[in-house]
Structure 1
């Protein structure tokens, strides 16, 4: 993990099947860097995955990591699945979180996904060709080959039980009843061209559950905004830093 020298810190939380590598282009130009924790079952934390793990399981693990790192409260950014995780963490532990940036987040409601898409997602684990197709399908802007290859590698090394737990458990959970404790200001960055978390899902399921949130829409990016449009993520991180 890389930490800034002083002040409230950003912690950048990856999404389903990925790792801290999703932030590599953002971190290149982020003053002071950030914490980049990895959720149980993914990245270097793959061994911590377990059958049926829930959004709460991941949020509690993340809370322990942040408390161990010290120097909170944190600014938290979460991509995709990580967006749902950080919202729950912020609601449960408002002392840990100053603000939230949700990037193409999975909604607090059950995520709209067909049975066929859930089956394809489950089956992609450990299959490089299936992962390659899956990622090509949700990317809309040019991504350096090394970054695309990193996505596939992360998918291959993810824990099998944690991988299946997301389409079967975490993505189906409704955490809205726990959001009463959410105090941090929320910004939602999303793409109108994202085929995974569609703009309709963002508007109805994310912003509908978080009416206090500020929405920032992009065009020309798919689901992996931190790799496809890192400059837009960086602009929000640094703008919020300047306002602190």
Structure 2
């Protein structure tokens, strides 16, 4: 299929942002079904680990994406922007502050625009997991409900080992605690929020009480049987949300 014949949301104008500690590989199953979709590594993670900073926040990660989004906009117009977990908060910031670049926003088990509810003990444990293979393995087994292929589970652990220590800590101490609700008045396009009723990391109640009421008119799509890593656990549901079917 040539670009000219491709459906408008099928490939080159779809940008997928991964969650905390992972990389663009999180979207492997989705990208297999959407050839040409862009799954960039966020600042401080994956191939961009070297760019991580101790003071980075949501806006820094979002701003680092703007050259890609502007290039895509110049070539094909505004994009469908999707974000998982941490990437959801980054995607929300981008869509609210640069609405001309985003045609449609899809948030998947997103970190809320308000400070993410997490106990001090939970934050400390996740902070300490950086670079610890055993701790990362336990973490990903804890937050998933569906078995993952070895290639995907192994990559999750490798991504946790190679992430920037500065960026890892910055999300725990800064980004996840940020409140970006003042920015939300800039949102223009339609918003879809996909989440799991069985998510042990960002609970469904957090989505219902801390995300959806702040995004008036957003379409809510709840699934069951998945943990937090929806792009790997239930890629078909993610595809349906992206394609709005």
TM tier, smaller: over 0.9
Q: Distance in 1 between matches of 2:244 and 2:182?
A: 31
Q: 1:5 maps to which residue?
A: 3
- The structure 2 residue matched to 1:56, chosen from 51, 56, 59, is 59
Report whether the alignment pairs 1:29 with 2:33.
yes
Q: Distance in 2 between matches of 1:13 and 1:56?
A: 14
Q: 1:210 maps to which residue?
A: 215
* Superposed displacement of residue 68, structure 1: 3.6
Q: 1:115 maps to which residue?
A: 120
Q: 1:42 maps to which residue?
A: 45
Q: Report the 3-state secondary structure (helix = DSSP H, G, I; strand = E; otherwise coil) of the residue aligned with 1:87.
A: helix
CA deviation profile, 1:153-197 (whole Å, cap 9, x unmatched): 000010000000001000000000111111011000000000001
* Superposed displacement of residue 117, structure 1: 0.5
Q: TM-score, normalised by structure 2?
A: 0.93
Checking the alignment, whether the CA contact within 8 Å between 1:37 and 1:65 is kept in structure 2 is no
Aligned ranges for residues 65-80 of structure 1 at < 5 Å? Answer: 65-69=68-72, 70-71=74-75, 72-80=77-85
Q: 1:235 maps to which residue?
A: 240
Q: 1:15 maps to which residue?
A: 19
Unmatched 5+ stretches in structure 1: none
Q: Report the 3-state secondary structure (helix = DSSP H, G, I; strand = E; otherwise coil) of the residue aligned with 1:140.
A: coil
Q: Report the 3-state secondary structure (helix = DSSP H, G, I; strand = E; otherwise coil) of the residue aligned with 2:216.
A: coil
Q: 1:89 maps to which residue?
A: 94
Q: 1:129 maps to which residue?
A: 134
Q: Distance in 1 between matches of 2:244 and 2:179?
A: 31
Q: 1:155 maps to which residue?
A: 160
For the aligned residue pairs, the C-alpha RMSD in angstroms reads 1.3
* Superposed displacement of residue 36, structure 1: 1.2
Q: TM-score, normalised by structure 1?
A: 0.93
Moved over 3 A (4+): none
Q: Distance in 1 between matches of 2:217 and 2:244?
A: 19
Q: Distance in 2 between matches of 1:51 and 1:160?
A: 8
Q: Report the 3-state secondary structure (helix = DSSP H, G, I; strand = E; otherwise coil) of the residue aligned with 2:244.
A: helix
Q: Distance in 1 between matches of 2:69 and 2:163?
A: 22
* Superposed displacement of residue 140, structure 1: 0.4
CA deviation profile, 1:195-244 (whole Å, cap 9, x unmatched): 0010000001111211221100000000000000011111222336xxxx
